[in-house]
Structure 1
Amino acid sequence: MERLNYQLCADAGSEYCPCHLAYSGDCIKCSLIRGEKVCNCMWQGVCIYNEVERSKNSPMNERKEYLCSVYEKEELSKNLYLLKIQVPKFMIRDLCSPGSYVLLKGKEKKQDMFNSPISVMDVDLENSSIEVIIRTEGIKTKSVIGHDEVWVKGPYFNGVFGIKDIKTTSNSNCVVVLNGLSQVNSINIIKNLLRNNNTIRAFINNQAVILDNVIDKITNLGVKINPINMDLDEEREFLRDYLNREDVKLVYSSGCNGFNRLVMNTVDSVSEDIKLVISNNNLICCGEGVCGACTIALDGEQVKSCKSQVDSRKILKASIL
């Protein structure tokens, strides 16, 4: 039976397309590659079927690992570190994209099993470097902190659901709601929204870790932050009134799925027409849709959430986490 393909692929049309899934007949986008009789892809500016046919005898452009220098390391609190990492120049511009992340592993680790997906907090184009924040919780992240060089693999793009909305919303009032370590995703998103002449108000939940580095960056971008001593669970009415009063067109919610669901319910009580973008909290190991660790069930389909762009509300309504 042919499936309804509502998924967008974060890699479609990039230099990393066609990917392993296309050559194995498992392309997220192309029904013809999957062996179906009718083309029912949601056009993303490239015919992947044609690209596969044209490049069968050419080597696939895969993401590669690079040994990169950690030129600054700061312990923010117990088991929480800020790293500034020099990365190849070709990679840096892609890492400005909303939802971008990299796979990191310690210098002494050779196997891919030690790769950890880490969100890019900010980029320095002039110095070709990225900033990341890492909590050391196990052997993977501890090995990253333990050396002045780390293996960096990337860029990857699917750290949030709703990238298209971030890139296309303009001249509107937007809200960014942040909770816990997921707030590191917000800087690239805010920069993209500001480039499109949007006005942004930030809300930060006080019931989880608050990162002064993120607050400073948001403030330096000219974005006003509502009082940080807000418990957003108890003060949902305040957020609801703001969304309604300011005719907000887009909300980005960055936290665990339970927190994002709370924000979704608040947003939907005002209007389900407000665009909702959320952080991708699914388990990611390879970042290429190959290992299956990120696969979730959605509307009867198995969705590779490390590559698929799907509707934020569908994700939250289907998830029990």
Structure 2
Amino acid sequence: MYRGNNKICVDCGSQYCPCHLAYTGDCIKCSLIRGEKTCDCAWQGICVYNEVQHSNEKLVNERKEYSCDILEKSEIAEDLFLVKIKIPKNLAKHLCSPGAYVLLKSKNRESAIFNTPISVMNVDAENSILEVVIKQVGIKTKTLLNFEDAIVKGPYFNGIFGVDKICKIKNSNCLVGLSGLSQVNSINVVRKLLENKNTVEVFINKNSIILEEVTEKLNNLGVNIHIIDIEEDKNFILDYIKRNNVSLVYSGGYNNFNKYMKELVDSVNKEIELAIANNNLICCGEGICGACTVNLNGERVKSCKAQINSRNLLDIL
């Protein structure tokens, strides 16, 4: 049986709380709602139990779908496309958060089964333009790329584990390691770290695809970028962590890359904060379908909504 054990729900305290899980007794945060005898919610700015108890109509503020124009599609590698979408201004401001993603589907598909979770690469908040990178691999993405408009649903926020660490750290030295398509969500991460007066150094693994669209934006943010071989240059990375007293590492790569980065970081100091890309399968984004569920030391955790300790997750992969 899954028990919350003080896990953080990215939607708790937001306009999307209480959600459907609260009204079925499956709330990620509230032990009382789940039928336990004591409260162990680790306050996130709202008493979900109180909200549910005083809600007569069990209303849930669901995320909206928006019909949006696709402004530009360009193939940047084989079967890999940069897509720019005109989105509503109120949605654009929320998608600037680290770990933000959306569900996309082509406009001619009414069923939610065609929704595809896509990480936010960049948002031009002033002009309300969303930039994403889409890999054409199946019916969902193929149909999406065949039209000049799309249905955008969002915002969703759990594309990164350790979001709270990224948002809270200030005046520190931080390292960002990237590899593969997970590098696309690094823009919001680096931007947030810089806003909080941190120093950021970026290391990109050359053994996987390097997206010029990402490196260009990182350069524009003024950070130093090192193109490295994650294994051959491990001593270079270790030396940087030690010499600069790095306080936080964000690893935006596939699971094996993230595990390797964890091993490097832990060999220096296990107290260094670690955040990683969420590479788990996501389907509905609401904790309902169960596609994202992981077994974490006997607990069934909905990884599309629950924040998971990065080290604990990587230890079971």
* Same fold (TM > 0.5): yes
TM-score of the superposition, structure 2-length normalised?
0.98
Q: After TM superposition, which residue ranges in structure 1, 4 or more long, deviate above 6 angstroms?
A: none
Q: Which moved more, 1:281-290 or 1:84-93?
A: 84-93
Aligned to 1:292: 290
Aligned to 2:165: 165
Unpaired stretches in structure 2, ≥5 consecutive residues: none
Post-superposition shift, 1:88? 1.6
Preserved contact between residue 23 and residue 58 of structure 2 (Cα < 8 Å):
no
Distance 2:210 2:4 in 1: 41
CA-based RMSD of the aligned residues comes to 1.2
Aligned to 2:43: 43
Preserved contact between residue 81 and residue 134 of structure 2 (Cα < 8 Å):
yes
Distance 1:202 1:86 in 2: 29
SS in 2 for 1:73: strand
Preserved contact between residue 98 and residue 188 of structure 2 (Cα < 8 Å):
yes
Post-superposition shift, 1:58? 5.2
Pairwise mapping of residues 269-288 of structure 1 onto structure 2 (< 5 A)?
269-288=267-286
Aligned to 2:313: 315
Aligned to 1:305: 303
Distance 2:218 2:260 in 1: 23
Preserved contact between residue 98 and residue 163 of structure 1 (Cα < 8 Å):
yes
Q: Does residue 1:57 correspond to 2:57, yes or no? A: yes
Post-superposition shift, 1:56? 3.2
Distance 1:255 1:135 in 2: 16
Preserved contact between residue 52 and residue 58 of structure 2 (Cα < 8 Å):
no
Letter matched to residue 194 of structure 1: L
Distance 1:56 1:79 in 2: 50
TM-score of the superposition, structure 1-length normalised?
0.97
Q: Deviations over 1:143-169 (max 9, x none)?
A: 111111001000000000000000100
Distance 2:268 2:79 in 1: 39
Unpaired stretches in structure 1, ≥5 consecutive residues: none
Distance 1:48 1:4 in 2: 13
SS in 1 for 2:95: helix
CA distance 1:118–1:173, change in 2 (3 Å): same
Post-superposition shift, 1:87? 1.2
Preserved contact between residue 10 and residue 307 of structure 1 (Cα < 8 Å):
yes
SS in 2 for 1:260: helix
Distance 1:190 1:255 in 2: 15
SS in 1 for 2:167: helix
Q: How many residues align?
A: 317
Q: Deviations over 1:91-122 (max 9, x none)?
A: 11110110000000111111111111000001
Distance 2:293 2:98 in 1: 22
Distance 2:2 2:81 in 1: 47
Letter matched to residue 22 of structure 1: A
Distance 1:254 1:2 in 2: 28
Q: Percent identity?
A: 56
Aligned to 2:244: 246
Distance 1:59 1:273 in 2: 42
Q: Which moved more, 1:294-303 or 1:57-66?
A: 57-66
SS in 2 for 1:233: coil
Post-superposition shift, 1:266? 0.2
Q: Which moved more, 1:170-179 or 1:105-114?
A: 105-114
Q: Deviations over 1:126-152 (max 9, x none)?
A: 111210000100011111111110010
